[in-house]
Chains A and B, each alone.
Chain A
Amino acid sequence: MNEHSPAPDGNRLLAHLPAEELALLRPHMEQVQLAHGQRIILPHVPIKDLFFPLNSLLSLVTTMEDGSSVESGSIGREGMSGVPVLLDAVETTMPTFVQIPGEAIRIKASVVKEVYERGGELKKILNRYIHTVIVVGSQSTACNRLHNIEARLARWLLASSDGIGSKEVNITHEYLAVMLGVRRAGVSEAAAKLQERNLIRYNRGNVTIVERESLEMSACECYHAIRQEYERLFS
């Protein structure tokens, strides 16, 4: 992880903080480069650092005993890793790893927790964020059960694009299959269908969103429901 001067404005949570609370955190901020596949939270290991993505994307993955797994949430520039720390849970069962490499701001969990406990604006902002994490988790459960692969793939691509602030999303078939909890052939065919309609361009793990509005219309209602909730709480 390379470190240089932090730019908190790139993360929506940090960008909403009043100057006085940001000043309490700023001396403890480190802007770091996260590599693809890097595990930033391990199951049942106390969480020491919180990461606020700037243009990277983190994935929370639930894995079953037979090795099958599905993404239960993602974290981009709208959020932060390590919510269990705020809730006094210290650790969690689910690993969090870097899905799309990029930059994030790292702050020691104990520092954020201390400012959170003061009960100021940071606490209000992070409480609202915790609410959106619950909304995303609930919506994702229903989505994985009820919506077809094509609509879920469109939703995932849009949410990831929002999370990293780019219309280019680097992700392989293999990871997309894990993220969506489906077989590779399903991902391939869903991507083929979106590409046939010229909504995306997919070449060797590099997806470009070509027609965003049309892709939004192809996504399931979950994308819009979650986005509206973020906008309601953070705009």
Chain B
Amino acid sequence: MNREPGSQPTIFLVEEDDDTRSLLKQNLQTYGYRVLLALDEEDALDHVGVHHADLLLVNLVGKTPMEVLQIGRRIREHAKYDGHTPLVVMAEKYGPDLEGTDVNMGGNDWVTYLEDPGQLKNLLHRLTSARRVEE
């Protein structure tokens, strides 16, 4: 399931929030990504792995970043993507000390604590560019 040379990087997005989903998908497409969409964990496990993805982006409602990280890792494993495929979790509740930070959780796993609108764009660009160099 490798990406064809020269093609757009693909993000597998798991976004539970109806209000955010379409907005996030549109923004990712504007940033130049192909987007594969899942509505929740179950939907993701059903569909992930059918197509190649360069990065998993997960945003789930009512869970801590660590819980979402574990779910994201399960989805990545289920898809049989290699363990280096970047996983990004968008945190929901956090204090001012974390705002604007992207915290590495080991390997290529990240929790992003959004504050500036360009933050997610920059993180995704950094991770997908590094992935291209590796390949």
Contact = CB atoms under 8 A, between A and B. Distances in A.
Interface of A: 148-150, 172-174, 182-186, 188-196, 202-205
- Which secondary structure dominates where chain B touches chain A? mixed
Contacts, number: 69
B133 interface: no
Q: Which of A150, A172, A188 has the most CB of B within 10 A?
A: A188
Contacts of B30: 193, 196
B27 A183 contact: no
Interface residues of B, number: 25
Contacts of B24: 185, 189
Given A185-B24, A189-B23, A202 B117 contact: yes
B17 A172 contact: no
A96 to B, nearest CB: 23
Contacts of A189: 20, 23-24, 27, 117, 120
Contact of B118 (A184, A195, A205): A195
Interface of B: 15, 17, 19-20, 23-24, 26-27, 30, 59, 61, 90, 92-93, 96, 99-100, 114-121
Contact of B20 (A185, A195, A203): A185
Contact of A196 (B19, B27, B61): B27
B61 A202 contact: no
A81 B50 CA distance: 57
19 contacts: A148-B19, A149-B19, A149-B23, A172-B99, A173-B115, A183-B17, A184-B93, A184-B114, A188-B114, A188-B119, A189-B23, A189-B27, A189-B117, A190-B23, A193-B23, A195-B118, A202-B117, A204-B100, A205-B115
A202 B116 contact: yes
B19 A173 contact: no
B20 A149 contact: yes
Contact of A193 (B19, B26, B93, B99): B26
B120 A192 contact: yes
Given A189-B27, A196-B27, A183 B116 contact: no
B90 to A, nearest CB: 5
Contacts of B116: 202-204
